[in-house]
Amino acid sequence: MVNSALMAAVFLVVCVFTNVTAQLVTYDQFVNAVTSSSGYGAPSLEQYNNLLNRAGNGQITTKRELAMFLANIIHESAGLTTKEEWGPPPAGTYTSSDDWPGRRYHGRGYMQLTYGYNYKAASEALYRDHRLLNDPDQVKTNDAIAWDTSFWFWSVNVHNAPGVQSGNFGTTILKINGDRECGNSQSNPTVARRRIQIYEAVLRSFCIAGDSVDCSNPCNCVIPTGSSCSGGGESSCKQTYTVQWGDSFWAIANTYGMTIDQLQTLNPEIADPSTIYPGELICVRH
């Protein structure tokens, strides 16, 4: 039997964690990032809301990492216009011992989830059941699930990879597509450089573009970030902190060298600093 208190705590963490991108990116920035980088039409409000509501599954708490994630998603999904691998490939492709009879586990979702073992792992981690093994088409037909699985893949394979938290966008390409784009083929770097072009456009849309860099090796490329917008176009919060069990508002303020009043100024939506919850996102740097 699952402990009901534990399940309630998990539910609370997941629900409150959704604040992360609400503090990091606006709807206008999201639309501009997609349209300016891919040439496709504007994404829907549903897609934006699902980005906000599912971002906790990717452990993303900084604007730069969100830009890295979105740039790769834009490339993988043709500007958020498709959630299934083109074709799709014939039966017998992407088979594994975890497959259920009659199901196909080709690329679906914004990050193109493949193979039964990945559908199984994502389903267990996200929903604690095998719904995605049973009905893999949900990953393309349900937009929230398409974001869920994409953030899950990022969390497991990209978020903690060496260099990612230091801004190495090239590492994200390597972890997502490996030798396909970062191998010895002379044609592969062209695809990787296209991802970098999208990333630079997203950085500009997010108002954090820095100096341009000529990345001779697109799979080992750090693009500096900065502040590239003025006025109301820039979201004010640059870094968030996830509240842990036992944290207090005072302790968080002290950790980041602030007074309680200064921290509350950064988080005006928190009316009562004595009632913060595990999983809640607190802005700690403008």
Q: What is the pLDDT of residues 75-118, one digit of tens each?
A: 999 999 999 998 777 777 898 999 999 999 999 999 999 999 99
Note the pLDDT of residue 61: 87
Amino acid code (one letter) for 21: T
145 or 11, higher pLDDT: 145
pLDDT at 79: 95
pLDDT at 180: 82
pLDDT of res. 191: 84
pLDDT band at 185 (very low <50, low <70, confident <90, very high): low
Element (H, E) at 19: helix 19-24
User: CA torsion sign, 231 to 22 to 108 to 181?
Assistant: positive
**In the annotation, is 76 catalytic?**
yes
CB 52 within 8 A of CB 22: yes
Residue 65's nearest CA partner among 149, 139, 171, 143 is 171
Per-residue pLDDT at 215? 76
Three-state SS sequence of 181-214:
HHCCCCCHHHHHHHHHHHHHHHHHHCCCECCCCC
Q: Is the pTM of this model over 0.95?
A: no
238-260 mean pLDDT: 85
The pLDDT of residue 10: 39
pLDDT at residue 232, rounded to an integer: 44
Q: Is the pLDDT of residue 210 over 60?
A: yes
Query: Which range among 146-150, 193-197, 201-205, 282-286 shows the weakest confidence by mean pLDDT?
Result: 282-286
Phi-psi region of 235 (alpha: psi -120 to 50; beta: other; left: phi over 0): beta
- Choosing from 46, 65, 76, 200, which is the catalytic residue? 76
Q: Name the more confident of 282 and 50.
A: 50
Q: Tell me the C-alpha to C-alpha distance, in Å, between residue 131 and each of 107, 128, 154.
A: 16, 9, 20
Task: Identify the bridge partners of residue 240 per DSSP, sorted by sequence position.
Answer: 283
Residues 6 or more apart whose Cβ sits within 8 Å of residue 165: 65
pLDDT score of 248 more than 80: yes
3-state class (DSSP) for residue 81: coil
Domains and CATH numbers, the chain: 26-81+161-230 (1.10.530), 84-157 (1.10.530.10), 239-285 (3.10.350.10)
User: Rounded to 5 degrees, what are φ and ψ at 225?
Assistant: -115, 160
Confidence tier at 13 by pLDDT (50, 70, 90): very low
Q: Is the pLDDT of residue 236 over 60?
A: no
**Quick one: average pLDDT of 212-240?**
70
How high is the mean pLDDT of the chain?
A: 83
